[in-house]
């Protein structure tokens, strides 16, 4: 049988007689005729070097499973990798909901036939708004780094200034994303951090603050895990110069940590992954931006914002707030641009928050604090290790310095890998001033037994047994 | 006519906003509690958080039993019209094709879902191989030399192109400050270059919907950094002069970026390389069957020529020919750095790879050919309907979509395209007008893709025909729609545009209103 005649399950109108009927209706002799606007020299005449397809679903599954079998996921080992992407427990209902055909395969429908999508995203914003104590929350952006970059652009438009300050302790990838996004109109200045505490270096910040600064950014907790205890001082310093303070949070910390608005942050942003989203090799990301309900700020959001509207039948309707801001409405005159971002993860984060409720968010924060503190303390008892290496209090992630052990971070990770443990993020390249150090992440999924196994294995490596 | 006799009614649960479902003390899920062995040794860890950094009062989140949470979200799901449930030809430019559920199995497996992005490369060879192989496929489909999957959507890919254009000319030491696009290109082709500091010049189409070479000649100069153009454009018309366009821009020293977010009508038919482009991107959530997820996560796979490869975001996924091992390659001399966390939306990459493997080279061509056949068939059916027309490209066939106009129907009946949009909901369908500005009056853009059968296309056309008849018979009924949707017609736009009235969260609503939208002002 000629391949052209294969009826593909995904393409019903590959049935030859149906094609003939359709062509007859159109009045065309062949499908080739329909391509009349493409000049002959632009028609691709070769054969794409792509394998023949698997005609049956079973063979496709076999092929994919063989490829995927080469992966050894964190769930098959013991992993302490974090750095802003960590394993958290994903409640079953999160996956049930985001796998539903209705949500998974919907796109950009209207507030009527896609009512549920609008309501779910409005509720996501409402619950996240309570967690971070702010009245305006965006529909998800690509990821937390994009949210940070957009928030800094917003700060520049709001203040009509063009310098922003970011900490040197930022995740280097996030710093790169921010730099790219701000270039070329905005100067991105780095403020140093204190090597002992991990906190923002206040003297350096003071020296860099001026009336040209639009916004000061900080992650709290920081990439290195520390809770920025001088956040209030940083906010005050920014405000004294008429600048805004933008704070990035990990929302899973906010059951125990203060929401940044309570210490004066003007814009709050963050990454949603910890709220019920699997890691997917770094592909499970969504960001948010939040603010007070002030027109001068709301009108600078680049993203979609969903609002609530009455209907003729006394139902809850929803629609796009201040649509004219967006690039859909105003093209090159818009606030940045908007497009397909990460709505499904917003819905998922909403499910997560509804499930956990106020007590669950507090509980998960406590468990993470306690278990990570235990891990850091126990590792610190090993001869030659400094743990936690930074003096400030931390949430979930902490730095372990190996300088006194004679092992490099890489050697430690390689040795742990042999023992079935994914150690920590090697900081030696991006943060050489911290020496041979690892960044470890301990969450609610790590039991005491897991932590004890890590500690025992690290001790074994250090003691050379 | 009551408007109710359509044979369809969408789920309507009158589901309250989640806060109304709270019942103090109920729990949706319990969290693993810390072992006594840890608690006894560590004491009160929370009290070590400095007072100013501690949360003082619990977040006002709903308190609900697990069953009610599930029920709530299932009801909201039912009140959402996913592609799987309808003949989704009404969301033109979005390529609402079939998203095979088998591909979800490859994403939801712990073998993918539980991978950390910074695992040792030795433990992620499977996913790296998939990314690498998809890159190879994309090179074939476009004729370009190297792909990155870092951008999280089409607009993000346009932004990435603009970022690379800037880096490229800075490297060359040339000052060019303009990017040219067309009115029927995606809005982000104008917005993202503007963000990157470019002056954006928009070339209009002529009365037949084509962008004339002479119009482009008027604006291309030594200041032109790049041309960003969607082709086929939003109207479904392929620009036959596209190679002359790229030749013209190249002669002026500029770069050319091809917006192939929607390449569904041209897979294996015509390529970016032969059309003379330096850069291009595909939306994996459109052409390559990754589901749209209510608006993402998607993926904008960006490809470039050899000359531009060193400017791509890092890392790329490469293969060591000696060992056969796949690795993350950060060694790009001119790299713009990062545009997104890690390596992009990996689930979309995996689905796109599986989708291509289910079709093969010939299957991809069939996708394109049937998408174009379906579109021209639907065009033929639509043009028989009273009040609708398909402006532009007179006498010519279209590729994967058509932008129609209801101008005549509006003139005859007063019913406008947004009225029809609401009425389509009563028949269980979607309907999208056009990107802005509405150059085509009273527009609607339909894109059938390859996924629907002739019978289904007939059905969608019959809905359009029926609504046209309703508009002529009883325009007020159409204007008052919907009647069979989850909610009735919404109030005026002031609730969305007036800062005093808008409420973007429930807490803002409670601050501004009591009961059902009774303003609190004056309290």
The reply to whether residue B422 touches residue A115, judged by beta carbons under 8 angstroms, is no
* pLDDT the model gives residue B469: 98
Residue A116 lies in a domain: yes
What SS3 string covers B275-336?
A: CCCCEEEEECCCCCCCCCCCCCCCCEEEEECHHHHHHCCCCEEEECCCCCCEEEECCCCCCC
The pair of structure tokens assigned to A216 is: 């000061």
A232 touches chain B (CB under 8 A): yes
A48 with A132, same domain: the answer is no
User: Stretch A71-89: mean pLDDT, rounded?
Assistant: 98
B376 touches chain A (CB under 8 A): yes
B201 touches chain A (CB under 8 A): no
A99 with A59, same domain: the answer is no
Query: Tens of pLDDT along A310-336?
Result: 999 999 999 999 999 988 888 888 898
A62 with A96, same domain: the answer is no
CB A234 within 8 A of CB A205: yes
| Cα distances (Å, whole numbers) of residue B498 to A239, A299, B510 | 28, 11, 16
Return the ∠ at Cα A330 (arms to A327 and A331), rounded to 5°: 55
Give buried/exposed letters for A279-315 (b at 16+ CB in 10 A, else e): bbbbbbbbbbbbbbbeeebbbbbbbbbbbbbbbeeeb
Name the residue facing A180 among B112, B163, B193 (closest C-beta). Answer: B163
Structural domain ending residue among the three candidates A294, A326, A353: A353
Distance of alpha carbon B46 from alpha carbon B44, whole angstroms: 6
| Cα distances (Å, whole numbers) of residue B437 to A304, A330, B156, B202, B441 | 18, 8, 21, 12, 10
The pair of structure tokens assigned to B465 is: 């025909």
CB B424 within 8 A of CB B463: yes
B520 touches chain A (CB under 8 A): no
State how far residue B268 is from chain A, nearest Cα, in angstroms: 7
Within 8 A by CB and 6+ apart from B300, the residues are B151, B152, B153, B154, B155, B156, B157, B158, B160, B261, B281, B282, B283, B284
A21 with A110, same domain: the answer is no
Structural domain ending residue among the three candidates A300, A327, A353: A353
Query: Tens of pLDDT along B419-452?
Result: 999 999 999 999 999 998 899 999 999 999 999 9
A39 with A117, same domain: the answer is no
Residue-level length of chain B:
523
Q: Which residue of B has its CA nearest to A220?
A: B53
Question: Rounded mean pLDDT of chain B?
Answer: 96
Return the closest-CA partner of residue A307 out of B375, B218, B513.
B513
> Which residues on chain B are in Cβ contact (under 8 Å) with A262?
56
The reply to whether residue B108 touches residue A130, judged by beta carbons under 8 angstroms, is no
A108 with A211, same domain: the answer is yes
Q: What confidence tier does A3 reach under pLDDT thresholds 50, 70, 90?
A: very low
Residue A87 lies in a domain: no
Query: Tens of pLDDT along B15-52?
Result: 999 999 999 999 999 999 999 999 999 999 999 899 99
The pair of structure tokens assigned to A356 is: 């956990």
Question: Rounded mean pLDDT of chain A?
Answer: 96
> Which residues on chain A are in Cβ contact (under 8 Å) with B237?
37
Residue A179 lies in a domain: yes
> Which residues on chain A are in Cβ contact (under 8 Å) with B230?
none
A162 touches chain B (CB under 8 A): no
| Cα distances (Å, whole numbers) of residue B83 to A105, B80, B267 | 5, 10, 22
A54 with A102, same domain: the answer is no
> Which residues on chain B are in Cβ contact (under 8 Å) with A25?
377, 380-381
Distance of alpha carbon A236 from alpha carbon A263, whole angstroms: 9
Task: List all residues of chain A from 264 to 323 with a beta carbon under 8 Å from chain B.
Answer: 271, 278-286, 293, 295, 298, 304-317, 319-323
**Does residue A1 carry a pLDDT above 50?**
no
Within 8 A by CB and 6+ apart from A423, the residues are A80, A81, A412, A413, A416, A417, A438, A440
* pLDDT the model gives residue B215: 95
Return the closest-CA partner of residue B244 out of B205, B217, B209, B281.
B217
User: Stretch A26-40: mean pLDDT, rounded?
Assistant: 97
A211 with A257, same domain: the answer is yes
> Which residues on chain A are in Cβ contact (under 8 Å) with B507?
126, 129-130, 135
The reply to whether residue A48 touches residue B119, judged by beta carbons under 8 angstroms, is no
B126 touches chain A (CB under 8 A): yes
**Does residue A445 carry a pLDDT above 70?**
yes
Q: Which helix (H) or strand (E) element contains residue B70?
A: helix B66-78
Residue A276 lies in a domain: yes
User: Stretch A134-159: mean pLDDT, rounded?
Assistant: 98
From A41-45, A454-458, B231-235, B354-358, the region with the lowest mean pLDDT:
B231-235
Q: What confidence tier does B399 reach under pLDDT thresholds 50, 70, 90?
A: very high
Q: Above pLDDT 70, what percent of chain A?
A: 99
The reply to whether residue B41 touches residue A374, judged by beta carbons under 8 angstroms, is yes
Residue A262 lies in a domain: yes
User: Stretch B207-226: mean pLDDT, rounded?
Assistant: 94
* pLDDT the model gives residue A333: 85
Name the residue facing A131 among B59, B105, B130 (closest C-beta). Answer: B59
Classify the C-alpha dihedral B130-B136-B141-B147 as positive or negative: positive
User: Stretch B243-272: mean pLDDT, rounded?
Assistant: 97
* pLDDT the model gives residue A84: 97
Distance of alpha carbon A289 from alpha carbon A281, whole angstroms: 24
Task: List all residues of chain A from 357 to 396 with a beta carbon under 8 Å from chain B.
Answer: 357-364, 366-367, 369-371, 373-374, 377, 393
Residue A406 lies in a domain: no
> Which residues on chain B are in Cβ contact (under 8 Å) with A94?
none
A226 with A273, same domain: the answer is yes
Phi/psi for B301 (5° steps) reads -75, 115
Within 8 A by CB and 6+ apart from A254, the residues are A131, A132, A361, A365, B55, B59
A146 with A294, same domain: the answer is yes
**Does residue A281 carry a pLDDT above 90?**
yes
| Block residue for tokens 């470039």 | B304
Cβ atoms within 10 Å, residue B241: 16
A157 with A223, same domain: the answer is yes
A50 with A116, same domain: the answer is no
User: Stretch A2-25: mean pLDDT, rounded?
Assistant: 89
User: Stretch B262-272: mean pLDDT, rounded?
Assistant: 97
Residue A209 lies in a domain: yes
Query: Tens of pLDDT along B287-310?
Result: 999 999 999 999 999 999 999 999
Q: What confidence tier does A465 reach under pLDDT thresholds 50, 70, 90?
A: low
> Which residues on chain B are in Cβ contact (under 8 Å) with A300?
none
State how far residue B503 is from chain A, nearest Cα, in angstroms: 5
Residue A439 lies in a domain: no
Q: How many domains does chain A divide into? A: 2
CATH number for position A317 = 3.40.640.10
**pTM of the full structure:** 0.98
The pair of structure tokens assigned to B390 is: 């398909």
CB B461 within 8 A of CB B382: yes
The reply to whether residue A119 touches residue B15, judged by beta carbons under 8 angstroms, is yes
ipTM here: 0.98
Backbone torsion region of residue A48, taken as left when φ is above 0, otherwise alpha when ψ lies between -120 and 50, otherwise beta? beta
Task: Set out the domains of chain B in order of their start, with CATH numbers.
Answer: 18-53+61-80 (no CATH), 105-113+120-357 (3.40.640.10)
Query: Tens of pLDDT along B80-109?
Result: 999 999 999 999 999 999 999 999 999 999
**Does residue B457 carry a pLDDT above 50?**
yes
Domain with A196, as residue range(s), is: 92-353
State how far residue B112 is from chain A, nearest Cα, in angstroms: 6
Return the closest-CA partner of residue B424 out of B468, B472, B475.
B468
Give, to the nearest 10 degrees, the angle between helix A172-182 and helix A144-159.
40
User: Stretch A434-458: mean pLDDT, rounded?
Assistant: 98
Name the burial class of residue B59, with classes exposed (0-12), middle (13-18) and buried (19+) by CB atoms within 10 angstroms of its CB: buried
């Amino acid at each position: 049988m000629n391949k052209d005649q294969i009826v593909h399950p995904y393409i019903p109108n590959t049935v030859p007689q149906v094609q003939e009927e359709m062509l007859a209706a159109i009045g065309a002799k062949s499908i080739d005729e329909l391509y009349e606007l493409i000049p002959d020299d632009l028609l691709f005449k070769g054969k794409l070097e792509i394998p023949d397809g698997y005609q049956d679903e079973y063979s496709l599954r076999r092929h994919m499973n063989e490829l995927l079998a080469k992966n050894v996921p964190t769930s098959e080992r013991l992993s302490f990798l974090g750095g802003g992407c960590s394993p958290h427990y994903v409640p079953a209902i999160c996956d049930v909901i985001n796998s539903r055909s209705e949500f998974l395969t919907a796109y950009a429908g209207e507030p009527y036939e896609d009512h549920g999508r609008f309501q779910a995203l409005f509720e996501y914003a409402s619950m996240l708004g309570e967690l971070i104590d702010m009245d305006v929350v965006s529909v998800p952006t690509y990821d937390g780094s994009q949210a940070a970059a957009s928030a800094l652009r917003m700060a520049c438009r709001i203040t009509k200034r063009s310098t922003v300050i970011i900490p040197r302790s930022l995740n280097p990838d996030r710093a790169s994303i921010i730099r790219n996004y701000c270039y070329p109109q905005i100067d991105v200045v780095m403020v140093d951090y204190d090597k002992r505490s991990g906190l923002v270096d206040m003297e350096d910040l003071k020296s860099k603050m001026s009336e040209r600064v639009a916004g000061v950014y900080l992650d709290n907790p920081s990439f290195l895990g520390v809770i920025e205890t001088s956040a209030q001082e940083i906010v005050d310093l920014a405000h004294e110069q008429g600048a805004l303070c933008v704070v990035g949070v990990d929302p899973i910390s906010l059951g125990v940590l203060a929401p940044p608005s309570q210490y004066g942050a003007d814009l709050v942003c963050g990454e949603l992954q910890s709220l019920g989203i699997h890691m997917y090799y770094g592909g499970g990301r969504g960001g948010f931006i939040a603010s007070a309900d002030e027109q001068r700020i709301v009108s600078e959001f680049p993203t979609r914002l969903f609002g609530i509207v009455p209907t003729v039948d006394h139902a809850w309707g929803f629609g796009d707030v201040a649509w004219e801001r967006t690039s859909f409405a105003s093209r090159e005159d818009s606030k940045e641009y908007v497009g397909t971002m990460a709505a499904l993860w917003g819905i998922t984060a909403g499910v997560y928050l509804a499930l956990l409720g106020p007590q669950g968010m507090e509980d998960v924060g406590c468990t993470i604090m306690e278990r990570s503190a235990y891990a850091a303390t126990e590792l610190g008892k090993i001869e030659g290790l400094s743990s936690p290496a930074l003096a400030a209090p931390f949430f979930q992630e902490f730095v372990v310095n190996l300088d006194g052990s004679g092992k490099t971070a890489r050697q430690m990770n390689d040795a742990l890998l042999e023992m079935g443990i994914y150690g920590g993020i090697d900081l030696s390249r991006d943060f050489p001033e911290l020496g041979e150090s690892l960044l470890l992440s301990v969450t609610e999924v790590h039991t005491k037994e897991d932590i004890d196994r890590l500690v025992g294995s690290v001790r074994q490596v250090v003691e050379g047994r | 006519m009551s408007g109710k006799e359509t044979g369809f009614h969408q789920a309507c649960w009158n589901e309250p906003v989640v806060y109304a479902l709270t019942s103090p003390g109920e729990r949706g899920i319990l969290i693993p509690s810390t072992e006594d062995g840890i608690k006894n040794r560590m004491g009160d860890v929370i009290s070590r958080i400095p007072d100013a950094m501690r949360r003082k009062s619990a977040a006002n989140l709903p308190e609900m039993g697990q069953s009610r949470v599930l029920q709530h979200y299932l009801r909201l799901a039912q009140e959402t019209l996913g592609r799987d449930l309808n003949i989704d030809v009404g969301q033109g430019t979005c390529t609402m094709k079939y998203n095979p559920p088998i591909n979800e199995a490859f994403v939801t497996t712990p073998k993918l879902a539980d991978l950390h992005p910074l695992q040792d490369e030795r433990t992620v060879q499977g996913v790296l191989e998939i990314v690498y192989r998809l890159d190879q496929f994309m090179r074939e489909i476009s004729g370009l030399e190297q792909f990155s999957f870092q951008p999280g959507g089409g607009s993000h890919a346009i932004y990435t192109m603009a970022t690379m254009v800037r880096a490229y000319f800075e490297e060359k030491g040339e000052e060019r400050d303009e990017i040219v696009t067309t009115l029927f290109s995606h809005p982000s082709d104008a917005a993202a270059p503007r963000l990157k500091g470019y002056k954006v010049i928009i070339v209009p189409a002529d009365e037949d919907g084509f962008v004339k070479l002479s119009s482009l000649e008027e604006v291309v100069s030594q200041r032109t950094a790049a041309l960003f153009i969607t082709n086929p454009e939003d109207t479904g018309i392929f620009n036959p002069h596209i190679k002359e366009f790229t030749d013209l821009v190249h002669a002026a020293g500029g770069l050319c970026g091809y917006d192939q977010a929607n390449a569904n009508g041209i897979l294996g038919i015509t390529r970016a390389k032969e059309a003379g482009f330096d850069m291009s991107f595909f939306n994996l959530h459109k052409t390559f069957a990754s589901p749209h997820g209510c608006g993402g996560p998607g993926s904008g796979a960006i490809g470039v020529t050899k000359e531009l490869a060193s400017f791509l975001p890092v890392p790329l996924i490469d293969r060591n020919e000696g060992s056969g091992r796949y690795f993350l390659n950060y060694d790009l001399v001119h790299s713009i750095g990062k545009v997104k966390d890690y390596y992009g939306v990996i689930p979309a990459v995996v689905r796109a790879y599986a989708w291509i493997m289910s079709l093969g080279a010939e299957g991809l061509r069939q996708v394109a050919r049937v998408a174009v056949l379906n579109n021209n068939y639907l065009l033929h059916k639509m043009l028989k309907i009273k009040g609708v027309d398909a402006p532009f490209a007179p006498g010519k066939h279209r590729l994967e979509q058509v932008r129609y106009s209801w101008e005549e129907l509006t003139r005859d009946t007063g019913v406008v395209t947004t009225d029809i949009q609401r009425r389509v909901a009563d028949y269980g369908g979607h309907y999208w007008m056009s990107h802005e500005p509405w150059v085509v009056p009273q527009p609607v853009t339909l894109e059938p893709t390859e996924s629907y059968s002739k019978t289904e296309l007939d059905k969608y056309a019959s809905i359009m025909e029926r609504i046209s008849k309703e508009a002529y018979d009883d325009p007020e009924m159409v204007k008052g729609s919907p009647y069979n949707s989850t909610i009735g017609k919404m109030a005026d736009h002031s609730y969305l545009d007036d800062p005093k009235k808008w409420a973007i969260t429930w807490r803002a609503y409670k601050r501004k209103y009591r009961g059902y939208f009774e303003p609190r002002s004056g309290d």
